[in-house]
Structure 1
Amino acid sequence: MLQLLGKSPSINVRKVLWLCAEMELPYTQQEWGTGFQSTDTADFRALNPNAMVPVIRDGDFVLWESNAICRYLAAQHGRTDLLPTAPQPRALVEQWMDWQATELNNAWRYTFMALVRHSPAHTDPAAIAASTQSWNLHMQILEGQLQKTGAYVTGADFTLADIVLGLATHRWCMAPIERPELPAVHAYYDRLSLRPGFRLHGRNGTP
């Protein structure tokens, strides 16, 4: 059976948890990370030298990086609805997944660490303001894409791109920041909230 190593509160672990719910894929989970078992050990670093979660074990196969794990599981179980096999639609799904992991994540990181995690290393007001502005600008990019599709990130159908960006959208909606009105993003959030897996793992169990 698939083994998932990582604490449930982690946004990256929740990508995998939500995907498993969508796929009705059985797994066992071990809680690793801050507040749980420490990842800063030789045994864990042998699985992931970055000492970060999530990590999966699928038999003898070990994989880390949450987006790579999502791609692997969808491909391994033939879920072409979530990750198409045709080059162009697959590339669009992966494009938006990569955008989430690089551009969008880098935009919100300072603000999130300052205002949600209350990190003593993230207290510069100018840096918070710049990060918040960048976060909102990136969400406006998502708004434009959702206005084009009218449904999900890459079109009419739910894909892996919606798992990673759905979690990011929840984080933006819940952050204690001033947000522009983005009607397509809010409609998207409501659409995702109809999915039991998102309500459980994307919205932290809130209705």
Structure 2
Amino acid sequence: MRKLWGRASSSNVMKVLWALDELGLPYDRIDAGGAFGRTREPEYRAMNPMGLVPTLQEEDGWSVWEANTICRYLCNEYAPDSPLYPKAPRARAEAETWMDWALAHVTSPMVVIFFTHIRLKENERDWAAEKKAREDCGRLWKIVDAKLAGRRFLCGDALTLADIALGCWVHRWFALPIERPDLPNLAAYYETLKTRPGFVQHIALPLE
């Protein structure tokens, strides 16, 4: 049985869990990272030299790390014809653009907001940084809102890895106790994502 190393509350682990669910692939998840430790152990570093989660370990011992890469690998290896990772070069490029965009632009300010409200103690919270991050995210989510006009998902009518890469942040954006601009397409998209069992099981969870 393949193993997925990483705690279920990690946004990056969530991506892979959702992808595994969409592809119907069996796995065992092993708690690692955060309070669970293990990521500094030599055995783990041999699989993932960064000492972060997630890491996917196949039955033959081969391993791959970085969440987006794991998701692409799973599609290429086990479902090369799946619309989750389109084969046509332009359709694939569109999906990968949003995957990269989520990493390069959305993740950092969303982490600031999330940690400020959920993970940090009151005396550790930087509210000026939270305000700036929230304003930055508001501008970024407007880009997504415009893209979603007339679409069910980011790349059209079918779910792709672009949605899996962004889905955790969409959930947190709407679940966090913050003021948000009115973005009707993004709100409708969030409701559409909640129709996917994997999103509900692995992403749309209480924040912790």
TM-score, normalised to structure 2's length?
A: 0.92
What amino acid is aligned across from residue 72 of structure 2 in structure 1?
A: R
Match of 2:14 in 1: 14
Percent identity, please.
Answer: 37
Q: Which runs of 5+ in 2 are unaligned?
A: none
Match of 2:133 in 1: 131
Deviation of 1:124 (Å): 2.6
Structure 1 range deviating more: 115-124 or 75-84? 115-124
CA distance in 2, matches of 1:205, 1:25: 25
CA distance in 2, matches of 1:118, 1:175: 14
What amino acid is aligned across from residue 144 of structure 2 in structure 1?
A: L
| RMSD, aligned α-carbons | 1.8
Matching of residues 1-207 of structure 1 within 5 Å:
1-58=1-58, 59-77=60-78, 78-118=80-120, 123-147=125-149, 149-204=150-205
What amino acid is aligned across from residue 111 of structure 1 in structure 2?
A: I
What amino acid is aligned across from residue 178 of structure 1 in structure 2?
A: E
Give the SS at the match of 2:82: coil
What amino acid is aligned across from residue 55 of structure 1 in structure 2?
A: T
1:62-120 Cα shifts (integer Å, max 9, x gaps): 11100110010011112431111221110111000011111110222222221221157
What amino acid is aligned across from residue 169 of structure 2 in structure 1?
A: A
CA distance in 2, matches of 1:79, 1:139: 30
Deviation of 1:175 (Å): 1.3
Structure 1 stretches of 4+ moved >6 Å: none
Question: Does structure 2 retain, via aligned residues, the 8 Å contact 1:74–1:80?
Answer: yes
Question: Does structure 2 retain, via aligned residues, the 8 Å contact 1:5–1:31?
Answer: yes
CA distance in 2, matches of 1:122, 1:37: 23
CA distance in 1, matches of 2:116, 2:11: 17
CA distance in 1, matches of 2:67, 2:131: 28
1:135-173 Cα shifts (integer Å, max 9, x gaps): 1111111111111x4210011111111111122100111
User: CA 1:203–1:22 in structure 2 vs 1: closer, same or farther (change >3 Å)?
Assistant: same
Question: Does structure 2 retain, via aligned residues, the 8 Å contact 1:4–1:30?
Answer: yes
CA distance in 2, matches of 1:119, 1:141: 32
User: CA 1:56–1:121 in structure 2 vs 1: closer, same or farther (change >3 Å)?
Assistant: farther
Q: Which runs of 5+ in 1 are unaligned?
A: none
Give the SS at the match of 2:167: helix
Question: Does structure 1 retain, via aligned residues, the 8 Å contact 2:81–2:87?
Answer: no
Question: Does structure 2 retain, via aligned residues, the 8 Å contact 1:113–1:119?
Answer: no
User: CA 1:205–1:197 in structure 2 vs 1: closer, same or farther (change >3 Å)?
Assistant: farther
